[in-house]
Amino acid sequence: MKTLSMRKVLRYIGLYTLWIVMVLLTILPIYWMFVVSARSRVELFDTPTVIIKSFFAPNYVKPLTNPVFQRYLINSLIIATSNAVLVVILSLLATYALSRWKLPGSDSIFFWTITQRMAPPAAFVLPLFLLFTSVFRIGNWQMFDTHIGLILLYCVFNLPFAVWLMKGIMDGVPLELDEAAFVDGANRWTVLMRIIAPLVAPGMAITFILSWIFAWNEYLFAANLTSVTARTITTGLAEFVSVTGTNWGEMAAVSMVSILPALVFLVFVQRYIVTGLTFGAVKE
């Protein structure tokens, strides 16, 4: 009895040591960024320390009160949220189709959607630029520098992942449920919305979250396919790298601000991530 509890205690000590170390390793870099964001420009080269002696607020106040910067934040919110909603809806419809019908060639479609995510992004900047500026235009309106442009583009990266994830979950929903509902006289649409959707909701939640995070964080295309109106927060980050001394303090502050919404998100929906992935991953 005594040895057993001894072992248990040791195990707990090991467990907590491991996790405290891991969490510290995770947090310290971010904390350091916070320390830098609290320093004025002349203090940057001070000795590294974990203590924040004084808080240099202008690093935060300056960008946050700047209307241009506020617009970047709003743009990022709009684009990430709309993209995530769109991806959730589309992937729900698509995976329902893939799972309930034996469509010829659907396996290839399934794999093909994923290859979209594999291409090295840099080479696609120019083609997309040309498409957005010259092909997708109606009169004076063009897709370049619009929210809708980025929202659609991010589907290319998010949909494959979403389809993949949701397919597994959808396959896990027994066909008998559909059939029982049909017997009760429900149509496809009702079945999808009333019966299937609630069951795969955790999967939809995680799809939403992951899509949202990706769209919020994307940089290369956002930088190249927008100009003024639809610029996002990540492109704003790069603007602090300037000729006259990279403004590390402000840049760190903006990075902190850019993490915050994603962070709030994470804390609130943390547990759904695990549930959602569980459904998708091993459904046997």
Partner 1 sequence: MRSNRMGWGLLAPTIIILFIVGVLPFFYVIYVGFFNWNAFSNQLGMQWTGVNNYRRLVFDDAFLDSLGRTALFAFTSVTIELILGFLLAQTLVKSFPGRTVFRTLFTLPLVMAPIAVGATWRLLTIPGFGPIPYFLDKWFGVDYRIATYAGQAFITVILMDIWHWTPFVTLTLLAGLTAMPKEPQEQAQVDGASRWQIFRHLTIPMMMPILLTTVFIRLMDALRVVDEVFMLTSGGPGAATQFIGIHIYRVVVPKTDYGYGSAMSLLVLYFTIVLCWLLFIALTQSGKQKE
Partner 2 sequence: MRLTSRRLYSVLSVLMITAMLLSACTTVAPAAPAAPAAAGSEAAAPAGDNWWATAAEAAGCKDVTIRGISESTPASNYAAEVLAPEFTALSGIKVELEPTSWDQMYSKAINDMQANTGIYDFVYIEQDIIYSYLANSYLTNLTQMLADNPDLASPDFDFSKFTSFIDNFKDADGNVFGVPMEAFIKVYLYRTDLFDDPAIQEAFKAQYGYDLAPATTHQQYQDIADFFTQYGKDNGMDLWGTTVQGNTGHSSSFYEFVETIAPTFGVYNWGINEDNWKAEVSQGGEMNSDTAKEALAFWVGLLKDAPPEATASTWDEVAASFAAGRAAQGWVYGENAAWIATNPDKSKVVGNVGVALPPVAEGVMDDAKSGKGYIGYYDGGAFGMPVSSKNPKCSLLWLQYIGQESVQADWAVAGSRIVMNSTYDDPKVQEVNAKTGNYYMLMKEEGPLFRGAPPFPFHAAIRAVVEPYIWKALTGELSPSDALDQAAAAADAELVNLGYGK
Write out the binding residues for partner 1, residues 40-69 only, by CB under 8 A. Answer: 44-48
128 near partner 1 (CB under 8 A) = yes
* Candidate list 36, 170, 173, 191; residue touching partner 1; CB under 8 A: 36
44 near partner 2 (CB under 8 A) = yes
CB–CB of 158/210 below 8 Å? yes
CA 111 to chain centre: 22
Residue 277 binds which one of partner 2, partner 1, none, with CB within 5 to 8 A depending on kind? partner 1
Residues 208-247 that bind partner 2 (CB under 8 A): 208, 223-224, 227-229, 231, 235, 238-239, 241-246
Residues 65-124 that bind partner 2 (CB under 8 A): 67-68, 70-71, 74, 77-78, 81-82, 84-85, 88
CA-based angle 219:256:245, to the nearest 5?
Answer: 75
121 near partner 1 (CB under 8 A) = yes
* # binding residues, partner 2 (CB under 8 A): 52
62 vs 261, beta carbon nearer partner 1: 261
32 near partner 1 (CB under 8 A) = yes
Residues 245-284 that bind partner 2 (CB under 8 A): 245-246, 268-269, 272, 275
Question: Which of 53-61, 62-70, 157-165, 178-186 is the region at the interface with partner 1 (rule: CB under 8 A)?
Answer: 157-165
Distance CA 38, CA 61 (A): 11
* Candidate list 65, 66, 134, 270; residue touching partner 1; CB under 8 A: 270
Distance CA 139, CA 258 (A): 35
* Candidate list 129, 172, 190, 278; residue touching partner 2; CB under 8 A: 129
CA nearest neighbour of 110 among 95, 96, 100? 95
Strand-pairing partners, residue 137, are 142
Which residue has 């992942």 as its token pair?
161
134 near partner 2 (CB under 8 A) = yes
41 vs 117, beta carbon nearer partner 2: 41
Binding site for partner 2 (CB under 8 A): 40-42, 44-45, 67-68, 70-71, 74, 77-78, 81-82, 84-85, 88, 125-126, 129-130, 133-134, 144-145, 147, 198-199, 201-202, 204-205, 208, 223-224, 227-229, 231, 235, 238-239, 241-246, 268-269, 272, 275
